[in-house]
């Protein structure tokens, strides 16, 4: 079964954490991604732009241009990062244009990285936009890569407010709220418009202990919500290793229907992908 990875970045994380390292050109980062996709039978990946733009974090504009230049829109989708702190009216106009023209597949919020709850009224404008175009909103939940993040804003229970107040909005909780997986599973169980991706559970490769821990937790979520249509496969590459992530999922020993839904069909449906 081919695989869709719904959670990828082109951020240069090594340089973010080690400023003395060279900035890897964006095309080089894309080439590495495509090589990893080919190696791991990933037929389509969704690249998420960030809440900030700098030499290590490409803008949505840059990613759109990169995909166009490389003629890979059959392999790469894009989700635009939204920021309360730095967005403009022009950004909102661009989001609307890109959604209408199917250039982006959704919008991502970085709650925690930005110190706002997802039910902050200033997010409503993008919720309404996603509802209008039938696309998902992705919301960061759980632990963060930056020690400047405030994780109270990223607790998965916060998503319940958004789901209840916007029943027509498709919501993807990123990282299954890790480490609050039990709270995440309740939000999934209660709200039929909420999904979760399993990305970013580890940095690098899964260890035996880490794999066993998260295997148990994901099986508990699937048993509790009793619905294999609600979890999406994502790795959070390059933070997490693609091959290690796929091996981890294979060791879950899911039945074929559940495996195919997790690794391909659920993301295809939620993001309305014609692949």
Is 211 part of a structural domain of the chain?
yes
Q: What is the pLDDT of residue 16?
A: 56
Q: Residue 206: is its pLDDT beyond 60?
A: yes
Residue 275 lies inside a defined structural domain of this protein: no
Q: In which band, very low, low, confident or very high, does the pLDDT at 19 lie, cut at 50, 70 and 90?
A: low
pLDDT of 240 > 80? The answer is yes
Q: What is the pLDDT of residue 24?
A: 86
pLDDT for the residue numbered 193 = 99
In a domain, residue 74? The reply is yes
**What distances in angstroms separate CA 256 from CA 111, 117, 244, 262, 263, one per listed residue?**
34, 37, 20, 10, 10
Helix runs in the chain, H state only: 13-17, 26-39, 60-70, 89-100, 124-133, 157-165, 181-190, 208-225, 242-250, 256-260, 266-270
Element (H, E) at 73: none
- 55 domain-assigned: yes
Across the chain, how many H-helices and E-strands are there? 11, 8
**% residues pLDDT > 70 (the chain):** 97
What percent of the chain has a predicted confidence (pLDDT) above 90? 92
pLDDT at 104 (0 to 100): 99
Asked if the model's pLDDT at residue 173 lies above 80, the reply is yes
Instruction: Write down the mean pLDDT value for the chain.
Output: 95
Summarize the confidence of residues 106-125 as an average pLDDT.
98
Global pTM value: 0.96
Produce one character per residue of 74-107: b if its CB has 16 or more CB atoms within 10 Å, e if not.
ebbbbbbbbbbeebeeebeebbeebbeeebbbbb
Terminal-to-terminal C-alpha distance of the chain: 13
Which CATH number does the domain housing residue 172 bear?
3.20.20.140
Query: Is residue 77 in some structural domain?
Result: yes
Phi and psi for 248 in degrees, rounded to 5? -60, -45
pLDDT value at position 103? Answer: 98
pLDDT at 200 over 60: yes
Q: What is the mean pLDDT of residues 160-166?
A: 99
Domain enclosing residue 240, as ranges? 3-270
SS3 state of residue 233: coil
pLDDT at position 56 = 87
Collapsed DSSP state (helix, strand, coil) of residue 261: helix
For residue 138, being part of any structural domain is answered with yes
Q: Is residue 223 part of a domain?
A: yes
Q: How many domains does the chain have?
A: 1
What are the CB-based long-range contacts (under 8 Å, 24+) for 55-62?
55/12, 55/15, 55/23, 56/11, 56/12, 56/13, 56/15, 56/16, 56/23, 57/11, 57/12, 57/16, 58/10, 58/11, 58/26, 60/94, 60/98, 60/104, 61/94, 62/26
- pLDDT of 15 > 60? The answer is no
């Amino acid at each position: 079964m081919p695989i869709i990875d719904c959670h990828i970045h082109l951020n240069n994380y090594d340089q973010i954490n080690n400023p003395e390292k060279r900035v890897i050109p964006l095309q080089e980062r894309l080439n590495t991604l495509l090589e990893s996709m080919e190696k791991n039978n990933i037929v389509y990946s969704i690249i998420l732009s960030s809440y900030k733009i700098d030499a290590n974090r490409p803008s949505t504009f840059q990613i759109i241009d990169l995909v166009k230049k490389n003629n890979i829109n059959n392999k790469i989708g894009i989700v635009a990062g939204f920021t309360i702190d730095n967005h403009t009216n022009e950004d909102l106009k661009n989001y609307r244009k890109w959604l209408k023209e199917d250039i982006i597949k959704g919008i991502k919020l970085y709650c925690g990285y930005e110190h706002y709850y997802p039910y902050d009224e200033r997010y409503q404008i993008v919720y309404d936009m996603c509802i209008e175009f039938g696309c998902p909103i992705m919301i960061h939940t759980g632990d963060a890569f930056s020690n400047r993040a405030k994780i109270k804003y990223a607790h998965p229970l916060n998503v319940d407010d958004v789901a209840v107040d916007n029943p027509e909005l498709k919501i993807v909780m990123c990282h299954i709220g890790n480490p609050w997986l039990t709270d995440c599973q309740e939000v999934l169980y209660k709200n039929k418009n909420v999904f979760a991706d399993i990305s970013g559970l580890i940095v690098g490769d899964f260890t035996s202990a880490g794999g066993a821990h998260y295997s148990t937790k994901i099986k508990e979520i699937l048993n509790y919500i009793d619905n294999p249509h609600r979890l999406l496969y994502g790795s959070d590459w390059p933070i997490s290793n693609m091959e290690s992530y796929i091996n981890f999922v294979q060791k879950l020993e899911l039945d074929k229907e559940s495996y195919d839904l997790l690794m391909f069909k659920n993301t295809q449906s939620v993001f309305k992908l014609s692949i």
